[in-house]
Structure 1
Amino acid sequence: MKILQINVVYKKGSTGKIVYDIHNVLKDKGIESIVCYGRGQKPNGPDEYKTSSELLAKLNNIKSRITGLEFNGSFFATIKLIRILKKEKPDIIHLHCINGFFVNIYWLIAYLKKSGIKTILTMHAEFMYTGGCGHAFECEKWKTGCGNCPQFKEMPSYLFDRTNRAWRKMKLAFDGFNENLIVTSVSPWLEERARQSVILGNKKHCTILNGIDTVNVFHPCDFSNIKRDLKLTDEKIICHITANFSNEIKGGKYIRELSERLKDKNIKIIVVGNTDKNLKLPDNIIDVGRINDQNELAAYYSMADLTVITSKRETFSMVCAESLSCGTPVVGFKAGAPEQISLREYSEFVEYGDLDALERTVHEWIELKSTVVNVIVEKAQGYYSKEKMCESYLTLYKELVNKSE
């Protein structure tokens, strides 16, 4: 059995790490594994292919801003990718996030459909059934064909609303691609949405949760050095993880407002991962910036009494899985997937934007960690482990291969 995975990045970002984990588990089991990716570092081995140059990807990005079709470019990179597929002749192709201007998605899907290659499409975002946007939020136009998009300027085109054409092109690519395709979603919430779509609704679906390294990384660990460096003593700690605090979708403004409500309390809010260096934050918020060491990230989770999620939409929530695996409860706004994939006994989610409810929930949970940490870790370590994720995909691979024999 030979498996070939395709993703926009490799070894970095949430999806890149997932691809890396699956790749290594397959090799450890003696299964031939190939990875193709479009963006980032150069490949290190014969089983890794980078299929697009950064220059070509940037040019395709610019082109999409003019044409309004994000997935329609990447002519030369797509030719290269298809040549690799023909050369390697995998039994199964596993698609992850294939946005990022490194491949013509319509062309690739049409090729896989015509060639009869067994294919798994893992949904990490919504764009494969919306035809364009990664988060549809409350909009339901993707159920009927898009067009007159209320947020098209936040998508590829600055000038033209091409959302209906993009939707139709995606539908055409997937039409008839049934028997050899399985659509997996990273949360029950995302699977339910995919099943409602015209583009993917009639395919075979299942859910496989994302997995993390709960053995070597995300588990309770020593944080004394961090606490000393930040000059923390007996304060209660709230952890908020975000790559962009100012991004409205990630809800940084609610953390600001929450901090104002907590300013007279012996509580510090630690913001981890933010890349916006021009932020001016209240005194009870400590912005530690971007962290590249995952073990250090686990130490921040371990130090916190509570993790707060304020995103408007999440299709999974690595933050939720990582925090709980380190023994720290999670509270936040309902955002789609987090309230479904969390350990419900050790997390609570309130209606989006309801700061009164969020503040009340923070006060209720921030004192509880010490009494439940061991139970949280025991349950989370198995539930979110990358081993469980990889075994689920391996079962699916074998099912597909056996079906063709």
Structure 2
Amino acid sequence: MLVLQINSVCGYGSTGSIAVDLASVLNKEGHSCHIAYGQSSTTYSPSYKIGGRMENHLHNLCSRLFGNQGYYTHNGTLRLLGYIRKIAPDVIHLHNLHGNYLHIGLLFELLSELEVPVVWTLHDCWAFTGKCTHYTTVGCTKWKTGCHQCPLYRAYPPSLFFDRSQQLYEDKKRWFTSLPKMTIVAVSDWLSKEVSMSFLNKYPQEQIYNWIDNTIYYPHPSNRWLHAVIPTDKFVVLSVSGAWTAGSSRYEDAVQLAGMLPDDMQLVLVGNRTAGTHFPPGVIHIPYVNSGEQLAQLYSMADVFVHFSTEDTFGKVIAESMACGTPVVVYNSTACPELLAPGCGYVVQPRRVEDLFLSIQKIRESGKSQFTIPCIENVRSRFGYHTNTHQYLDLYQQVAML
């Protein structure tokens, strides 16, 4: 069986790592897997780069100027279609199609013609909205009937001047409901329920959690490089984000929490810091960490992990932290609380930073060791690498036989 995966990135970030994990499992089981991707670079082979650097930059520019993301990279997409016809996959697995690297209409025209079984894993909500990847914070439900007057048209994927949400919604609905054979995979129960209220509910749906590699994410012993950065005599509160941006709710809540922590507690924030973003004195900032092993060391040395997000379809950093035996505190929003099990930490109402602090204090009083075993067992039983990746293999074989 030959599977082709299509994603914005390959081997980088959350979805890129997922794609390579699935490819590795397929190869070990005697199958073949190609990955077509749009941004950055990869060491995985066989892979196919969609579009050139200049073409993708132009896509990004036109998307921002005119608001039509997914209508460019025309030549790159035509070459991709030729590649698909050449390798003749038995199953095509879609991941993130947003990211300024595909002409989505052309892709779905071909998928409709070929009638190759399609599996589409939704890692966010973009596939069934006119524009946004998330809508919970602004409380928008227009996607259930038809997007227009988008309150997030300037948010990712950004449009500087025009709100094209109505056109985008109508085009996406037409494209994405045109396939004769497609199965939707939601990465959480929360997302599954959202999909069931969208135009994608015409397709069969599976719910498969993302997974954590326990050969990487497990309680690591104390590490010398961390000792040079983080005090060993303090109670460490850790949070990891792809980016910290001034004005965002994550940043604001982190700053507020930093002001509440006593001198014997240390807040450590990991992730890129965008231009103009500054942290209060006393906060330790570590730039984005792509190494799983280094992340695992950070999770392991922390006494508690705090997740400031109010919008997550899975929240992999939450599960990674628990796999390393570190309890978590999350907001009661989207899929975040779904990942916890009894004894793994606390759930508080969104943006209630005072309650975050109280939960941190409870963990400190109980001691991290009281949470370690429940955290590890929760991850191994629900987010196991072998079990969850093989659910996809079973799904591939099932749809290939239809």
With structure 1 as the length reference, what TM-score do the two structures score?
Answer: 0.93
- Match status 1:34 vs 2:34: yes
Q: Which secondary structure does the structure 2 equivalent of 1:353 belong to?
A: coil
Q: Distance in 1 between the 2:377 and 2:145 partners?
A: 44
Q: Which runs of 5+ in 1 are unaligned?
A: none
Contact 1:307 1:329 in 2 (8 A): yes
Structure 2 residue identity aligned to 1:97: N
Structure 1 residue identity aligned to 2:315: S
* 1:5 match: 5
* 2:77 match: 78
Q: Distance in 2 between the 1:247 and 1:388 partners?
A: 39
- RMSD (Å) for aligned C-alpha atoms: 1.8
Q: Distance in 1 between the 2:230 and 2:332 partners?
A: 33
Q: Structure 1, residues 67-118: CA drift from partner, whole Å, max 9, x if none?
A: 2110111111110111111111111000001111111122212321232110
- Match status 1:207 vs 2:207: yes
* 1:169 match: 171
* 2:352 match: 354
Superposed counterparts of 1:302-381, under 5 Å:
302-367=300-365, 368-381=367-380
Q: Which secondary structure does the structure 2 equivalent of 1:273 belong to?
A: strand
Superposed counterparts of 1:125-164, under 5 Å:
125-137=124-136, 138-154=139-155, 155-164=157-166
* 1:236 match: 235
Q: Which runs of 5+ in 2 are unaligned?
A: none
**Could you say if the C-alpha distance between residues 331 and 131 of structure 1 is closer, same or farther in structure 2, counting changes exceeding 3 Å?**
same
Q: Distance in 2 between the 1:223 and 1:325 partners?
A: 16
Runs (4+) of structure 1 exceeding 6 A deviation are none
Contact 1:212 1:384 in 2 (8 A): yes
More deviation, 331-340/364-373? 364-373
Q: Distance in 2 between the 1:379 and 1:165 partners?
A: 43
Contact 1:123 1:185 in 2 (8 A): yes
**Could you say if the C-alpha distance between residues 44 and 324 of structure 1 is closer, same or farther in structure 2, counting changes exceeding 3 Å?**
closer
Shift of 1:15: 0.4
- Across the two proteins, how many residue pairs are aligned to each other? 398
Q: Which secondary structure does the structure 2 equivalent of 1:400 belong to?
A: helix
**Could you say if the C-alpha distance between residues 324 and 43 of structure 1 is closer, same or farther in structure 2, counting changes exceeding 3 Å?**
closer
With structure 2 as the length reference, what TM-score do the two structures score?
Answer: 0.94
Q: Structure 1, residues 253-303: CA drift from partner, whole Å, max 9, x if none?
A: 1111111111x3511111112334765433432112222322111111000
More deviation, 239-248/15-24? 239-248
- Match status 1:93 vs 2:112: no
Structure 2 residue identity aligned to 1:37: Y
Q: Distance in 2 between the 1:305 and 1:202 partners?
A: 45
Q: Which secondary structure does the structure 1 equivalent of 2:218 belong to?
A: coil
Shift of 1:227: 4.6
Contact 2:246 2:276 in 1 (8 A): no
Structure 1 residue identity aligned to 2:299: Y
Structure 2 residue identity aligned to 1:49: Y
Shift of 1:248: 4.7
**Could you say if the C-alpha distance between residues 69 and 227 of structure 1 is closer, same or farther in structure 2, counting changes exceeding 3 Å?**
closer
Shift of 1:22: 0.4
Q: Distance in 2 between the 1:42 and 1:14 partners?
A: 14
Q: Structure 1, residues 195-226: CA drift from partner, whole Å, max 9, x if none?
A: 111x21221111111112211x1110022314
